[in-house]
Amino acid sequence: MNNSLENILFIDIETAPQFATFSNVPEPLQHLWEEKISRQRLLKENETVPESYGRAGLYAEFGKIICIVAGFFDKDTFQLRSFSGDDEKKLLLDFSTFLEKFTQHRNAANIQLCAHNGKEFDYPYIARRMLINKVTIPGILDNSGKKPWEVFLIDTLELWKFGDYKAFTSLNLLAYIFGLPSPKQELDGSKVGTTYWQKHDLELIVKYCCTDVVTLANVYLCLKGLNPFNENIVAYKP
């Protein structure tokens, strides 16, 4: 295994609205949600404000992280670790502790994180929710005052764009064009909030997130001109 690959931590997060329904949201936050979607013109045609709250998980001010999965190459295996639950602060603390240990066991100066659309979503979302939960942001995620070459965050969407910023390309589409299995088999991102609040099926959400991380790592390999790995080398440890 390429030693540089072992210094990359591939991550994906799953988020949900902070409350099960709009009626459960405290009144001040209801007004702030309505203000946000009105100002940014996020309300769809014929959609009511309460209906739009189903998308609140996309925004760190109104959503919460319910699952983080991290994957990394270790010799001849691809290891997966998951952090999930209703207690977001504990989840974030556990992930931060894992990240610290991961860094200690490798050359800290060479550690990088990798996510798809991570610079627009995963990385800032984690940092914002850590601030809200009063959890210290790990140095690798805190970009305040850093120069571009001091930021060790890889984004596979950015790699695919080659400087072209006109369009979004999903992980699912990249998986398809590279001949990889689709990560969207039992679940997709639009159904995570419903699966969490109505079914509370965290096991399914974690499984879906794990599949995304495996796909992410293989897409990264393809973007680097390397061969993807077979899923039989994947080792999962909750």
Q: Which residue has the higher pLDDT, 110 or 150?
A: 110
Task: Show the CA angle centred on residue 143, arms to residues 137 and 149, nearest 5°.
Answer: 135
Domain ranges of the chain: 5-18+62-237
Q: Which of 141, 103, 95, 99 is nearest to 122 (CA)?
A: 141
pTM: 0.93
User: Does residue 3 register a pLDDT over 60?
Assistant: no
The CATH architecture assigned to 5-18+62-237 reads 2-Layer Sandwich (3.30)
Instruction: Render pLDDT for 186-216 as a digit per residue (tens, 0 to 9).
Output: 777 788 999 999 999 999 999 999 999 999 9
The set of long-range contacts for 119-125, using a CB threshold of 8 Å and a minimum separation of 24, is: 119/153, 119/155, 119/158, 120/155, 120/157, 121/13, 122/11, 122/12, 122/13, 123/153, 124/60, 125/13, 125/15, 125/60, 125/63, 125/65
pLDDT score of 108: 66
pLDDT score of 5: 92
Instruction: Render pLDDT for 63-79 as a digit per residue (tens, 0 to 9).
Output: 999 999 999 999 899 99
